[in-house]
Amino acid sequence: MSKEQFSEQIQNSIRWIQGNEADHNVALSVDWGGEMHFSDISRLAEMILAGTVELFSRQSLLIVLMRANYGKVLGHSLRSRMPKDRKLICLDDVNVENGDYIDIGKPVGAGDALPIVIKTLALAY
C-alpha cells in the first residue's frame, strides 16, 4: 500500500469514528502482518504521521496500538518525527478490533508498562 493510500485510509477511519464528536481520542491499531525491519518501521512511522495530520488539528495525543512486539521502536521512530508539543502513547501486543474501546491506566512499575482494558460493545435487538 502506498503512503498516500495508507494516509487516506487512516483519515477516513478517523472521520468515521469521531464524526462530530472530536473530543474523543482515537487510537490507531496497526497489524503489519510479518517481521519488521528498521526500514519498515521508519516507513510505517512516516505513513502514520502523514495520515494523522488532520487528527492533530483536533487532539494533541496520538495513540498507536500494535499487535506485534514493535511498540517501543515504533514509538521512538514516531517521537523523533513529531512536534515536541504532541503527546504519544505507543503500545504493543494489543489485539483490538474495529470499534473497540480502550481504557489506558496510569504507568506501573518503572513507568514502562501501562495497564489497558479493551471493551467490545455488544448490542441486543
Is 52 within a domain?
yes
Domain that includes residue 65, residue range:
3-98
Number of domains in the chain: 1
Is 45 within a domain?
yes
Q: Which of the four pLDDT bands, split at 50, 70 and 90, describes residue 20? A: low
Count how many Cα atoms sit within 13 Å of the Cα of residue 11 in the half-sphere of its side chain. 13
Q: Residue 108 has which C-alpha cell? A: 506501573
What is the chain's mean pLDDT, rounded? 86
The burial class, CB within 10 Å (0-12 / 13-18 / 19+), for 62 is buried
Is 111 within a domain?
no
Is 27 within a domain?
yes
Contact in structure between 42 and 7 (CB atoms under 8 Å): no
pLDDT, average across residues 75-95: 93
Is 33 within a domain?
yes
pLDDT reported for residue 58: 77
Q: Which of the four pLDDT bands, split at 50, 70 and 90, describes residue 23? A: low
Q: What are phi and psi of 62, to 5 degrees?
A: -110, 125
d(CA 23, CA 112): 27
86-115 pLDDT per residue, tens: 999 999 999 998 888 899 999 998 877 889
d(CA 69, CA 102): 19
Contact in structure between 41 and 73 (CB atoms under 8 Å): yes
Q: What are phi and psi of 15, to 5 degrees?
A: -60, -40
Is 109 within a domain?
no
